Amino acid sequence: IAYAQTAGPYLASIAVMPTIASAAAAEPLPPWPQLPISHDELLRNFTHTSGDAACGRGWTSATCLLAHTDHHHRVHNLLGLAVAGWRPARALGAQGFALTFVGGGVAAALNSAGREVQVRNWLDNGTRGWASYVTPRMAKLWNENGAWRLCGASAGVFALLGVDLCLSLEQ
């Protein structure tokens, strides 16, 4: 019951947030209630871009943990959070759990070098490796000049997995 009280608010918040695809009517809504948030509002306030802080929307580095691209993305993060978080929650308490989960997500949103690696991988997958072959700086240019929107709880889940691994190794 203690873990449900710790992780439950995060799990529920992610579950009731419409996915970007469902808000754009590109996928059906799930069978449970969703918040009535428009696609534009979801993109503006629940995804993160590198220019958000300069525009006065710095909170998006934290709120982007709640929005997901599609139902597969959301379900994988919900399952990951439910499975990966119980041991860190028990060891760190509710505040340590929150700091790890939200802090991991915010750190990832603000990590432009990591975003560049993800962009390079995305470009390489789409061009069969030609993007990196043609110019190693292509991902950096794409990252700096593209309007990338980050969303999802993956980084927060991985932060909890890291704590879980450390606790396992400590035992």
* CB within 8 Å of 100: residues ≥ 6 apart: 88, 92, 156, 159, 160, 163
Distance from C-alpha of 67 to C-alpha of 125, rounded to nearest angstrom: 24
Distance from C-alpha of 57 to C-alpha of 48, rounded to nearest angstrom: 9
Distance from C-alpha of 12 to C-alpha of 18, rounded to nearest angstrom: 12
Specify the pLDDT at position 33. 94
Which class for 153: exposed (0-12), middle (13-18), buried (19 or more C-beta within 10 A)?
Answer: buried
The rounded percent of the chain whose pLDDT value lies above 70 is 81
Specify the pLDDT at position 23. 93
- pLDDT tens per residue across all 171 residues of the chain: 788 999 999 999 999 999 999 999 999 989 999 999 999 999 889 988 877 777 888 889 899 999 998 999 999 999 999 998 999 999 999 999 999 999 999 998 887 656 666 666 666 776 777 666 666 565 555 555 555 677 889 999 999 999 999 999 988
Specify the pLDDT at position 111. 75
